Structure 1
Amino acid sequence: MAKLVHPDGELAIARGCSKFGIGQCISSNASYDVSEIVACGSKNPFFLQLYVNKDRASSEALLKRAEECGTKAVFVTVDAPVPGRREADERVPVDQGFVAYAPMTGASASNDSKGGGLGRTMGAYVDATLNWDDLKWLRRSTRLPIVLKGIQTVEDAILAAQYGVDGIVVSNHGGRSLDTSPPSILTLMEIRQHHPEIFEQVEVYVDSGIRRGTDILKALCLGAKAVGLGRHTLYALNYGQEGVEKFIGIMRDELETAMRMVGITSLDQAHPGLLNTCDIDHLVPRTIETPPMVLRVKARL
């Protein structure tokens, strides 16, 4: 729903990312269709962030369209089976002069007795029954690599590898789903400390709380292949494509400065030894449960 920030919405993000070859994850709730967004970025890889629809046929059609447009993978959202409690969002009524509408799902926002929560009303179509067994359906529905977005425990990272997915995104949904859930960087540390082999079995990405170039470098040192930046991008989108390009330039400069300061010249030289984690090591669980082949993705308070 990036059109809430700027009329060009995800189109401006695509154009801004294209200048740098930055990947863009297109939400099912985007303000424009995936075909329109992909057409705006000639250099950047695109991924579809899928919220699985209760109407599975609708999701299958969207997956097919994403494939035809040339998207590189599907990022399946697993950390939002129900809308999180977003009190500030509920207090903002839906403006009757502006319609929040997601063309790929047909979802539109509306006020009700609880308030005007965009996240809640726009997510009414999401299938809360999604579970591990549904990966069989997903593999039948798409040829794209499958990435699970929203892993919040090392146990679920292990299960993801066992189920043979191509990647995971360690994420707490920007802190907007489960109140008091731990920062993603701690979950990344949890995987690194208890089961570092996961980084060899699946590609690991991380988002939520990445705010500076130093944050990017920390995540890469812990084993992440890449990081996601959503909130910053939306703030920058206030200024359209130019704002997105400015933001990417700032983050690139910060990352390069951090690399110089720690004495590396290439990101493939990043490693855990560059980090001093003593102040937060005690926040990482010392023991984990051996996961059975359970049917629910879980989070940790």
Structure 2
Amino acid sequence: MSSVSCCASRAAFSRLEDFKSLAQKRLPSDVWEYYSFPSCSGFTLQENQRAFQRYRLLPRVLRDVSSVDTAATVLGSQLDMPVAISPTAHHSLAHPDGEKATAKGAASAHTAFVVSSFANYSLEDIAQSAPQGVRWFYLIPQNDPARTKELLRRAESAGYTAIWLTVDQPRFGFQNRPESRMESAEGTRLPNLTFDNAPSDVRSSEFSAYLSDSLKQPITWDDVVWLRKNTQLKIVLKGILSAEDAKEAVKVGVDGICVSNHGGRQLDGVPASIDALPDVVRAVDGKAEVYVDGGVRSGTDVLKALALGARCVFVGRPVLWGLACDGAEGVRQVLQLLKEQLNLAMAQAGCSRVSDIKPSLIVHESYYLHGRHCPGSLS
């Protein structure tokens, strides 16, 4: 991996797509495909981005936006922007420093990083790489509750302040992905998981053979209740798309819900995350924080998600692109670009603070095409 910054010229990297193009050139084809592949036809993956284009912003004018503040409080942590890093696996495939570099980049941008159980460095090593950073842990429950408890204790001891649980993956496996895409990638360790009957140095290219025997599937509401009883950390459920599930999540006492379709990598044909967001926001009714990920590619996308009720927006693939370009610095610059774009979009929309971003700022395109919706609605 070249140490020359991919962002030497800011003019050359004014879009996340610029990071994507360079990352694709730098990464081996099998790694690029692993990071990029969708489920089945790829409909949901494509919809995640297309759906943002169907929302229109209604800016307010003649407001004092000489100073714009993008700061936000998420899960009790003060962030410089309402944009943070989604959990994704195997960062060492993008850069030798893997999640340690991602943590440094997030800390430099003063935002949060959700560390995956499929990280290639231990929870402790990642925490030590950026001691001042805001870290949350994406938990994969194991069949043995004692092992899951051990992971919880490790996360607590290492300074992680929230536990994320993905709930949209009742069965492990990837649709429409030839296994060879990962088999040829350079192996990396998975130090945060214990696999039954697996060697202690199991590699990422081999781990799928041990998933079914070692990791709990499916996860149910009983597991969420168990988790609530076994940790004092805040709990976020990632992967909820329906209002009914959102209401149930509130009943069992979660602190946050991330509206997500797993980046279009699980069940194909589900709604785009941004389209599912308004119903979840209404169902939660302020009883938990609501976030969204999937398809965010600009600061304007972030603004739209905030106007639809998200407290924070999470990005996954773009961070991996930055990591592949220039390690921690590439991650920082991806996040910095989103912050700068959000700052400008807020000013142009008449918002000087995140709290100024209201539902009246956004309308679905169908209002103009068919007259079905009213400005300021969440639909």
Question: What TM-score do the two structures reach when normalised by structure 1?
Answer: 0.84
| Mapped contact 2:167–2:240 kept (Cα < 8 A) | yes
Structure with the greater relative contact order (CA < 8 A, sep ≥ 6): 1 or 2?
A: 2
CA-CA distance at 1:136 after TM superposition = 2.9
CA distance in 2, matches of 1:265, 1:187: 27
When residues 223 and 123 of structure 1 are mapped into structure 2, their CA distance, relative to the original with a 3 A threshold, is farther
When residues 208 and 122 of structure 1 are mapped into structure 2, their CA distance, relative to the original with a 3 A threshold, is farther
Q: What is the match of residue 142 of structure 1? A: 231
The answer to whether structure 1 residue 5 and structure 2 residue 94 are counterparts is yes
Q: What is the match of residue 279 of structure 2? A: 190
Q: What is the match of residue 250 of structure 2? A: 161
CA distance in 2, matches of 1:13, 1:186: 29
> Aligned Cα RMSD in Å?
2.2
Larger gyration radius, structure 1 or structure 2? 2
Q: How does 1:224-239 map to 2 (within 5 A)?
A: 224-238=310-324, 239=326
CA-CA distance at 1:69 after TM superposition = 0.8
Q: What is the match of residue 102 of structure 1? A: 190
Taking only the aligned residue pairs, the percentage that are identical comes to 37
Any idea what SS the aligned residue of 2:228 has?
helix
The answer to whether structure 1 residue 176 and structure 2 residue 260 are counterparts is no
Structure 2: 5+ residue stretches without partners: 1-89, 196-201, 370-379
Letter in 1 for 2:106: C
Any idea what SS the aligned residue of 2:294 has?
coil
Q: How does 1:21-40 map to 2 (within 5 A)?
A: 21-40=110-129
CA-CA distance at 1:252 after TM superposition = 0.9
| Deviates further, 253-262 or 128-137 | 128-137
CA-CA distance at 1:281 after TM superposition = 11
CA distance in 1, matches of 2:289, 2:365: 26
Letter in 2 for 1:212: S
Any idea what SS the aligned residue of 2:315 has?
coil
CA distance in 2, matches of 1:176, 1:281: 32
Structure 1: 5+ residue stretches without partners: 283-301
Q: What is the match of residue 271 of structure 1? A: 358
Q: How does 1:1-301 map to 2 (within 5 A)?
A: 1-88=90-177, 90-95=179-184, 98-106=186-194, 108=202, 120-121=208-209, 123-124=211-212, 125-192=214-281, 196=282, 198-238=284-324, 239-279=326-366
CA distance in 2, matches of 1:157, 1:173: 16
Query: How many residue pairs align between the two structures?
Result: 272
CA-CA distance at 1:186 after TM superposition = 0.8
| Mapped contact 2:171–2:218 kept (Cα < 8 A) | no
Letter in 2 for 1:236: G
| Mapped contact 1:221–1:275 kept (Cα < 8 A) | yes
Letter in 1 for 2:122: D
CA distance in 1, matches of 2:279, 2:253: 21
Question: What TM-score do the two structures reach when normalised by structure 2?
Answer: 0.67
Letter in 2 for 1:164: G
